[in-house]
Structure 1
């Protein structure tokens, strides 16, 4: 993973090498005690990508697609709406390839991710007004359209509708998981935002194993699966709009997780194993534990863990920030998670 404290001193050739090293992330088994039975769950650790998240794959696919279509020139200004991780990933790849990059972000972006984007010379454009669903995505997208209209040099990667998003996970993430699991995947849990990760992995796994169970994991208050919108603190998961990529044949179940439930599992995993992961991974682990409690027959279990915990030192892993939540419910869920996750 890149050392962002020294990134400004890294030669462009080294940045290019980092961009080429995306993927081939490890699987790590953990044990969960569910209904007095120990279950082994395999975590696909996307935090091992160069900038620390699964969005490295997405960013690489999006930029490669624009280049293949001859839509980028040396003077192009790449632009994207981002909740954080994709912005960092695009900033790396654009800097390595010589393109300028503008990240349209909102107040929920972590200070850590903003600092990383700025270290990679990204231009930050901050929107302040929430959208009609209580999030910021629609506001960010409106700002992207405004900037595109103002400057013909901007080129939008459009992670929300560009088929290159799910395709890169169909071509890389899905096959990696299948091979690492020795071609035995009974069930996979994947967080959703744009839906590209779930759509690409699911399409691949269903081709090689039509009986695989796919569970989409979403944040409570997100509308990806058509549920009622509500405010949420989780970032990197969920959306204020339906996914352009997820169709009903690509998943078997959709589970929704509350902020406190996700953050409790992040803390418990860190306390039990020393592994710090982000909020979407906490969501995925909570959903996995809930589902397995009702499905003891499931084996060969995989959870896609989109990023690590280092981007959340001032949020998820900050006790003062946690106090802004429903503390009693968080403490209740933390104890439950500690009872489930074993060393």
Structure 2
């Protein structure tokens, strides 16, 4: 039995699940790195720890100081947990898409919450949240903005620490959510340094502008942006793939019913992309990084009334498979 004395020691070394399912092509392997086994049920525990440790090391954050961050949920939860454990005050800037569960989560650790109600000119909230963060920094001299979007400490931590957990699995491809470019950009660079033969596929929700397509609002939260963060370098990845709300949400429901794995929306995007990657003729095995748990979304896309309100029609296994089986070519790099 491993005994720990601080919460941060519970972060990392997450398990890998070998998925057996009708959607996985015969004689091919799909492994899922389950980041929901971090203490706050998401990969953002790793990001939060890397950013805070570096801030303390460099003196940008002092004991008892204030941290400010814009987040749709998971990173805020992780920072809130660490604020209670490591002795700093946290202000989380969120938007109306955040769940009540998340708000209570932040507050239970003693964090303060700022809600931005007015979207930006494109209909999204990310740039509006960032603007509020900058206002708060002016109001609180000495406060530290972890800035998951542009802080290079984010991908550097994942490159040097998180990537090491993938070196034991010599798969053909690793699939992850592009998000802010932090965790998967760092993981991709770390993997390439050790296993240059392994390819990486970055995925995102349709409607996000990270891959250069026009932004439009989407239902899933926890991924996607209306711009491309400085931490996102598309050259870190071999392939890019976008997944619709409907496909990701439908797949989450299918996997929950068929396997007992309750996955978050970003995990649905990643898993759909990984299943697509397995349709390529020259890909026999894939590792999918599932960033979070569905526990955060029980009042959202796992709720029947929410699905009706948002006009989401769940697809069947056969309908998902029909879409996936349309992709059988050999992959080419971007």
Does TM, scored on the shorter chain, surpass 0.5?
yes
Q: Which has the higher helix share?
A: 1
> Is 1:299 equivalent to 2:299 in the alignment?
no
**Other-structure match for 2:330:** none
Which deviations, in whole Å up to 9, do the C-alpha atoms of 1:222-244 show, x marking residues without a partner?
01111110010111111111031
Equivalent position of 1:314 in the other structure:
299
CA apart distance, 1:190: 0.4
Are 1:215 and 2:215 counterparts?
Answer: no
Matches within 5 A, 1:77-88: 77-88=66-77
Q: 260-269 vs 147-156, which deviates more? A: 147-156
Find the aligned partners of 1:154 and 1:204 in 2 and give their Cα distance. 31
Secondary structure of the residue aligned to 1:19 is helix
Q: CA deviation at 1:276?
A: 0.1
Partner of 2:314: 331
Unmatched runs of 5 consecutive residues or more in structure 1? 1-13
- Judged with a 3 Å threshold, the aligned counterparts in structure 2 of structure 1 residues 35 and 76 are, in CA distance, closer, same or farther, namely closer
Residues 1:60 and 2:60 are matched in the alignment: no
Matched, 1:138 2:127: yes
Within the candidate set 259, 266, 280, 2:266 is matched to 280
Determine whether 1:22 maps to 2:11: yes
Tell me how far apart the structure 2 counterparts of residues 45 and 31 of structure 1 sit (CA, whole Å): 15
- Alpha-carbon distance between aligned partners in 2 of 1:77 and 1:248, rounded to the nearest angstrom: 32
Contact 1:44 1:177 in 2 (8 A): no
User: How do residues 51-200 of structure 1 correspond to structure 2 at under 5 angstroms?
Assistant: 51-179=40-168, 181=169, 184-200=170-186
Tell me how far apart the structure 1 counterparts of residues 278 and 237 of structure 2 sit (CA, whole Å).
16
Residue 210 of structure 2 is matched in structure 1 by 224
Structure 2, unaligned runs of 5 or more: 325-334
Counterparts of residues 233-272 of structure 1 (less than 5 Å):
233-272=219-258
Q: 1:45 aligns with which of 31, 34, 43?
A: 34
Quote the RMSD (CA, aligned, Å). Answer: 2.0
For residues 325 and 206 of structure 1, the distance between their equivalents in structure 2, rounded to whole angstroms, comes to 40
- CA contact 2:278–2:286 (8 Å) conserved in 1: no
Tell me, in whole angstroms, the C-alpha distance in 1 between the residues paired with 2:322 and 2:109. Answer: 41
How far apart in 2 are the matches of 1:35 and 1:273? 13
From the superposition, tell whether residues 30 and 185 of structure 1 become closer, same or farther in structure 2 (CA, over 3 Å).
Answer: same
Count residues in correspondence. Answer: 321
